[in-house]
Chain A
């Protein structure tokens, strides 16, 4: 299978200006994600999850190391080219939804396609199709302030995948959802992964969300601490294995549940 994402010795060092007060947020992290994988990245607060996600999702750049997405070295790209790259190859689902207030649900979902100048009819069809998968057809003409958090997140997910991106990133996508909405969203993502063979990378500190993945990377103090495959385990079994590792890391159960 093709390698979609490859991180090679990625480090990120934050330093206060002038003084040698350095903080290593990421320390020589290397890993690969293959096409069709559903990968979770876990770790306690401050472990470097979000830093890592920002690096591999082109929002921030590493101090050293290389990152390849679909064979393109994104570390060397200029900002405007990166923007186009994000638009064409990546999809994002954020904890706080990141929907545009001034656009309706349908328009929010259509935005990436409109930016890519896909013709209007095709946009309409694709929006309708995706809205059906996420069960949000009835709120397409609502504005974000008129709908619930779960609906917002499904709208954001629809927007993330409408361009058929090479890679979908989720940054704590269930963080602001109640358990029912969270389960709905995770089920949809799983379906997307299994049926449409979408490659998904999820950053979370929620073991429940992570248990939907097929592989989980654990990060601690800026390094990859452990890697866990779901293999033939049921989701519940995988969930307990994840919990076990988390208590090993010492993030504390209180931080997990």
Chain B
């Protein structure tokens, strides 16, 4: 029998043991293949206007995915080989040469890897159409897709995983050389010892995390005061991540030691066992628990952030483009062309509102402020003016109202992006005086206040002035009339929007709802897809890592549970003790991860015009639910393993 045969027989006979390893390899491959197959899909590339953006978005995140998937596969390989150390030791004891054993392990892993690579690509190919449809829905693209296997995706997946598998196989080959025989036999007995806890270090850990959180809460304030955005973000990352690792290494130990000292609760039933067991295992667990907590935070942030962007696409489009179409009236001919285009789509998109906004542009400046630069406009040379009476009737027409009563010498600013909650917003012009150059003379007026309204799709900064001022202004400048039209079902008015855009092509100004919305939806739809996809992969992988880790411990702890059985511990007590232990192992990183996320998204909220509350309320419970599923599964398998 050749070594290759022996390797194959090994896999066949112990398939149950190999199954977990197989499953995690296949899972990684399926996820990776699905992802790159979307990247290289020819149909999606054609459909999206921003095809470069698409492959760009996929490229960056696929690097992230490779890193993660590689780590995950190396981890599961480590879990798997650790389980087999004894078997390898036995071969060596029976007189197989090291080189032979190494070769056998190498072939075995290579063999399994190649098989799972094939299965993985196959499953991935089958799944990719479903993911493709989902992506298109999210991007708002109406497209009928067909089944497709991009060759480049297959090649890339094959290349990436072949390298990873080669690496893990080589690790298998080296296993026999890395350890002495005695170490191979006592693989599961590696003494973990009882770690030393330190309240001082625990306090430092909490201080670190608190610093990170405080920085996140006052993100914008600190960033604008000199530290800069990126360095601050890295500082927050440093403090929270280091704090997390320290917390798990020192705080948990200190807490458990304290629990041991509280004899009354410690000497109560199985507490004596579960607490000691947790303490005994914490040294080996602290790093993984901290990693899981950081990964959870990253996952939740990625999903929460992309969901926020996705939701904000709808909100900002509604807010910034209050009308379906806005264009500057020029002549009768243009109006006729527009009306004709509107008429053609009357059935699907009847006009529901049609208002005219009259303004006069005047040169001028806000004193002491050279220019006001906000997200959506710049004031550097002048303003659009409109009379107070006209403003009130216009507001009524668009279904809004603002209580403005101007005294002589006062003006009121209408600034769509005005939002004093948003940090980074420059409201320095409010309460300043403004100089308007009317004809040859100029006049000074005071800006009384500002209101956050968009009067047309142009999003311009408009000053409401007393009627008599406007009358004067009108004599010197030309009045501009903007026609604002609202139609029904503006979100899918692609044809109409294209036609209108074409009709007013030569007019000086035109803006519509649909194009902003669909472009936003395409990029944010892609973003939420990638966010949720990566989030899902991360979640499944972190869940699996905890699961593996616990099962590894279960195997090592079996003798301990046998002893408990003999001492007279009932199965129910055992189950409850396992439940309790696992609960600590699972919830500690989860709670910390969720906390990290809340603070991170709170910082993010300062830079975004929408609330992060809704994404959080959706993502976090879903995450917890899936995570809880892993908990249940782990408890069950653990119990099965030790009884």
Contacts and interface: CB of A to CB of B under 8 A. Distances in A.
Interface string A66-92: 000000000000011001111110101
Contacts of B560: 100-102
A137 to B, nearest CB: 18
Contacts of A107: 272, 276
B276 A117 contact: no
A100 B571 contact: no
Interface stretch (B200-208, B263-271, B328-336): B263-271
B279 interface: yes
B276 A102 contact: yes
A111 interface: yes
Contact of B276 (A86, A90, A100, A159): A100
A134 interface: no
Provide the main secondary structure of the chain A interface: helix
B470 interface: no
Contacts of A79: 570-571
Contact of A92 (B268, B276, B566): B566
B264 A114 contact: no
Given A100-B560, A102-B560, A120 B263 contact: yes
B567 interface: yes
B143 interface: no
A217 interface: no
Interface string A140-184: 000101000000000000010000000000000000000000000
Interface string A36-58: 00000000000000000000000
A121 B263 CA distance: 8
B184 to A, nearest CB: 20
B569 A102 contact: no
B226 interface: no
B640 to A, nearest CB: 16
A86 B194 CA distance: 30
Interface in B369-424: none
Contacts of A84: 568, 570
A113 interface: yes
A115 B569 contact: yes
A102 B277 contact: yes
A156 to B, nearest CB: 10
B565 interface: yes
Contact of A114 (B191, B272, B280): B272
Interface in A97-152: 98-104, 107, 110-115, 117-121, 123-124, 143, 145
Contacts of B273: 100, 102-103, 111
A59 interface: yes
A100 B562 CA distance: 10
B269 A115 contact: yes
A111 B568 CA distance: 10
Contacts of A120: 263-264, 266-268
Contacts of A119: 264, 267
Interface string B264-301: 10111111110011011100000000000000000000
Contacts of A114: 266-269, 271-272
Contacts of B191: 145
A111 B272 contact: yes
A143 B280 CA distance: 11
Contacts of B263: 120-121, 123-124
Contacts of B565: 83
A111 B567 contact: yes
Given A98-B563, A100-B273, A115 B279 contact: no
A83 B269 CA distance: 14
B573 interface: yes
A104 B563 CA distance: 15
B52 interface: no
Nearest to B574: A83
B279 A102 contact: yes
B567 A87 contact: yes
B575 to A, nearest CB: 11
Nearest to B563: A98
Given A114-B269, A114-B272, A85 B566 contact: no
Interface in B558-611: 560, 562-573
Contacts of A86: 566-568
B568 A90 contact: yes
A123 B570 contact: no
A85 B269 contact: no
A110 B272 contact: yes
Contacts of B270: 115
A118 B268 CA distance: 8
Contacts of B280: 101-102
A112 B269 contact: no
A145 to B, nearest CB: 6
Nearest to B272: A114
Contacts of A110: 267, 272
Contacts of B264: 119-120
23 contacts: A79-B570, A80-B571, A83-B571, A84-B570, A87-B569, A94-B566, A98-B567, A100-B276, A101-B280, A102-B281, A102-B560, A104-B276, A112-B567, A113-B267, A114-B269, A115-B567, A115-B568, A115-B573, A117-B268, A119-B264, A120-B264, A123-B267, A159-B567
Given A84-B568, A104-B276, 20 more contacts: A83-B565, A86-B568, A87-B569, A92-B567, A98-B562, A100-B563, A100-B564, A102-B273, A103-B276, A107-B272, A111-B273, A112-B567, A112-B568, A114-B266, A114-B271, A115-B269, A115-B569, A117-B269, A120-B264, A143-B194
Interface of A: 59, 79-80, 83-88, 90, 92, 94, 98-104, 107, 110-115, 117-121, 123-124, 143, 145, 159
What are the 8 tightest A-B residue pairs by CB atom distance, in nearest-first order? A87-B568, A102-B280, A86-B568, A120-B263, A83-B570, A80-B570, A114-B272, A102-B276
